[in-house]
Amino acid sequence: MDPIGNVPLFLSILKNIAPERRRMIIIRELLIALLVLLVFMFSGKYILAFLQISESSLGIAGGIMLLTIAFKMIFPGKEDMYAHNEEAEPLIVPLAVPLLAGPSAIAAVILMMAQEPDRWTDWALALVVAWLLAGVILISSETLGRKLGVRALIAIERLMGILLLLVSVNMLVEGIKRSFNI
């Protein structure tokens, strides 16, 4: 979910929204993201079966998507990856999906449930705890932005990108191992 890395993006996307509306928008988008992740957590296995996608393919694809996002975080280009209509209030895209409930988060919850479905209460609890932490950070994003400053937020985003890069490589390696039964 990368809430710290998303702080600058949320601040940028919500900059033209009235300050009194921002908190409500963030809460709404957090709830939508949680709902999306829970739906995929509990129905993702069936969606994959219907589409005939293996867990190893999901792990490899999730790793590649996460790798792409990590590279964008570490080496941001001039183009805005999450372009949006700055005059309209964002709804679902880009805040809830893909910033919070992105392809890699969706892949992660599907893989957790597919690999150990009997631990569904653990996975749901872990998701809710991660969501709550993300919520606290994002609701405090304006305060964080003021206190840390732009340079610190950029540095944190790049550090989070490096961690994301490590996670993505691990997802790729695990997906490849499962593909070849290594």
Q: Which of 82, 85, 73, 92 is nearest to 165 (CA)?
A: 73
Per residue in 122-171, pLDDT (tens digit) is 999 999 999 999 999 999 999 988 898 878 888 888 888 898 899 889 98
Most confident of 13-17, 66-70, 133-137: 133-137
pLDDT, tens only, 69-93: 888 888 887 765 555 666 788 889 8
- Mean pLDDT, the chain, integer: 88
